Each structure stands twice: as C-alpha cells, then as structure tokens.
Amino acid sequence: MERKNKQLAELARSGSPMRIAIRRLLADRMAVASLLLIVFIAFIAFLGYLITPDSSPYANGQHLQLATLKPGSKVKFLRVAMQHEVKRRNILGRMFYGQEQDYNEIPVDSIYFDGIKVYVREYNPIPEGDAIVTELTLPEILFRLNPQKKYLLENDTITAFLFNGQQAILAVAEAQQRVLNQNLVTRRFLLGTDRFGRDLLSRLVIGARISLSVGFIAVGIALIIGIVLGAIAGFARGFIDDAIMWLVNVVWSVPTLLMVIALTMVIGKGFWQIFVAVGLTMWVDMARVVRGQVLSVREKEYVEAAKVLGYGPWRIIFRHVLPNIMAPVIIVSASNFSTAILLEAGLSFLGIGVQPPAPSWGTMIRDHYGYIIMDKAYLALIPGFAMMLLVLAFNLLGNSLRDALDPREIEKA
C-alpha cells in the first residue's frame, strides 16, 4: 500500500511544469467548483435566446398587467397572429439577436366564443378589479390576413384570405377548437416578472451574456495594450521605459470609475462603448505586471543566447520572453475579469453603461432597488446574487491559479 501511494505521488510530480500546475489546480476543490460555475454560466449565456422563455430581442416582452409577479406564477396567454411580416432568422441569428414572435400574446383570465367572435377577459392581478374585455375574431387570431379582403363567413364556414394570396377554409367550430388547443397557452415565470412585466429569468440569462462579454472584450483590450507596452518598457529600458511608465503612472493616478465615466462621456453610451471604456482603463495593471516580469527575465541565459544568435528584439520578446511570463498574466487577467464585471454593473446602475432595453445586471438592480424594503426584494437580490457568485468564482479561480502557477511550489513538487 505504501509503495502504491509512493508511485502515485511520484506520478503527480512528474511531467512538465505546466502539467504539474494543472494537476495542482484540479486538486483544489474550490478552484474546480469555481471553474465549473464559470463554464456553466458561460454555456447558458452563449445559448442565450435559444433557451430563454422569452426569446424576443433583449427579452423585452412587456405585459404591464403582469408586473412583479412572484416566482413560479402561471398565466394564460392568447396568441394572436401578427398582421405584419416578421423577419425570420437562422439559428445563429436567433441565438445572438433573438427572434421577434409571429404572434402577439395577450394575458387572459378567460375567453368565450359567440360564433366567429371571441371575447377575451384580460388578466387582472386584482380579482375584484374591473375586467377589460377585448373583442377579436377567429380569423385574425389564427391567420395573417390580407388587409384588402380579410375573411368571408358563409353557412358557419370561414374563408380566410391570407397575405400570401392563399385561402384557408374551415368551420367555425373547428376554428374555435384550434384556438383553444393551439393559441391558448399557459406560461410559468420561474423567477417571476420585473416591474414592466418582463420575464426575469430571460433577462437574467441575457444579462449574464453582457457581463461575460464585457469581461472578455475588456480583458482582451487590456491584454493587448498592457502586454505590448509593458514588454517594450521592460525590454528597452532607458527613455522608452521612462516615457511608458510616466503614461502608466498618469493613468494609474486617476480613479478607475472616474476614468470610465469620462471615457463614456467622450465615446458615448452603449453596448460596445462600455467594452472599450472598461478595457482602456484596465491595461495599466497588466502593463506594470508585464514590465516587472520582463525586467526579471531579460538578463536570463536564454535571452542572452538569443541576442548572441542575432535575433531581433521583437522576436526575442514574443518568442522567448512572453511565453515564460504568462503565469502572472493569467492571474491578473482573472482578477481583471471580475473587476470588469463590477465596473459594467456599476456604470449600468448609474445609467451610463449598457442602455435599455438591453438587460444588464446593474440595470436590473437599479430598476428594482426600491423593492428591497418591500416584500419583493428578490427582484434586486437575484441579479445581485448572480453577479456576486460570478465575481467570487473568478476571484477564487485567480487565487488558485496564483498558487498552482507559483514556481517555488512547482519546484517543491
């Protein structure tokens, strides 16, 4: 038994430093749990509109009479065919941009028929309140009609003239049954609805996509600018190093949130603008870390050997220096990811980030923070809790990466 344990320990210490670091990372349960949570949130955010109950663009299907429904609430909807052309998207278009529904949903308490006419008693959250009754016809519920000549009723038989020039003929009783079977549906709101009657779960999923997108793009911008400037400053030294570090210190001296606000005022508010603004304020951390690491390895033997062989500075930097300093870069990137998520949420809360109707966790908190002192505090707590979990996962993963990639610990292993 001892011999077997010794063999397993030797196996765990064998391999390249990167493999040892990966094994040490996977041995950390907290790191694995954080990584699984990040992957899960990224997966559902990637699928986006394909899995959300409300697949309309920005999950913005509003029903004001359904405002602030409690989680798990069920509501009946009558689906009425749209009387205008709806542009259909392929699966990728639906995944990234959503799909406008080819029907209009009316929340109902009950419906009843009078021949070809349909009387809809709309949903009323107050049972003793006045009922709103809407009158519709069977053809306009079932079909997209020709605006010049809509339908004809003869001997309890409906002849509907469709927009594409075709006709649909069916009996009144058959049309009534089709409305009950196909157009009257029940939807459950698992997390309830917000103050505009929008499905909270759908907006939470699309909000996760925005938060992760800000993290990826902002960290990408910070990586490009920070690695290039930090590597040049650390490798060149002299006047170039002094000039770059002067720029770093100037940007560093301005509070991050104020810098982001100033940039958003210059380049505007919106989806892509906030990505650029956050990315342009996060590169200083990366530049300082990269410069320090380059300074520590520029005098190494393999760098001196590359200089003796006549390699140019750019080849030495990108082929020999940067691959050997990626461990701290990965750690800082994980930390910057969580910082970018918090910055985006903070800016959206202030109203200068991602603009409505695009769902953002910060916007969702801003819209509902007044409900915290009421019996509907979950409207603000759910997006806040989701943001807390994602930021915590990135911070824990960053700490685990720091320990796993520590050269001293790898040498001990």
pLDDT beyond 60 at 116: yes
Residue 303 belongs to domain spanning: 200-412
Question: What residues contact 305, with CB distance under 8 A and at least 6 apart?
Answer: none
The pLDDT confidence band at residue 24, using thresholds 50, 70 and 90, is: confident
Residues 78 and 130 in one domain: yes
Q: Show the tokens assigned to 255.
A: 């509070």
Residues 182 and 218 in one domain: no
Whole-number pLDDT of residue 311:
82
Residues 295 and 377 in one domain: yes
As a whole number, mean pLDDT of residues 41-58 equals 93
**pLDDT 10s digits, 133-151:** 889 999 999 999 888 888 8
Q: Which of 189, 220, 250 is the last residue of a domain?
A: 189
What is the pTM (predicted TM-score) of this model?
A: 0.86
**pLDDT 10s digits, 331-343:** 888 888 888 899 8
**Region of residue 130 (phi > 0: left; psi between -120 and 50: alpha; otherwise: beta):** beta
Whole-number pLDDT of residue 328:
85
The pLDDT confidence band at residue 184, using thresholds 50, 70 and 90, is: very high
pLDDT beyond 50 at 7: no
The pLDDT confidence band at residue 129, using thresholds 50, 70 and 90, is: low
In a domain, 13, yes or no: no
Q: Of the ranges 1-10, 21-30, 51-60, which is most confident?
A: 51-60
Residues 150 and 290 in one domain: no
Whole-number pLDDT of residue 407:
60
Residues 139 and 283 in one domain: no
Of 145 and 7, the structure prediction assigns the larger pLDDT to 145
Instruction: Name beta bridge partners: 168.
Output: 160
Can you tell me the distance from the alpha carbon of 348 to that of 366, in angstroms, rounded to the nearest whole number? Answer: 8
Question: Over the chain, what is the mean pLDDT?
Answer: 86
**pLDDT 10s digits, 288-318:** 999 988 888 887 888 888 888 888 888 888 8
As a whole number, mean pLDDT of residues 100-126 equals 90
Tallying the residues shown for the chain, one arrives at 413
**pLDDT 10s digits, 319-366:** 888 888 888 888 888 888 888 899 888 888 888 888 888 899 999 999
Can you tell me the distance from the alpha carbon of 64 to that of 107, in angstroms, rounded to the nearest whole number? Answer: 10
Whole-number pLDDT of residue 86:
84
Report the domain count for the chain.
Answer: 2
As a whole number, mean pLDDT of residues 170-188 equals 92
Q: What sign for the dihedral angle of Cα 190, 194, 196, 202?
A: negative
Residues 349 and 395 in one domain: yes
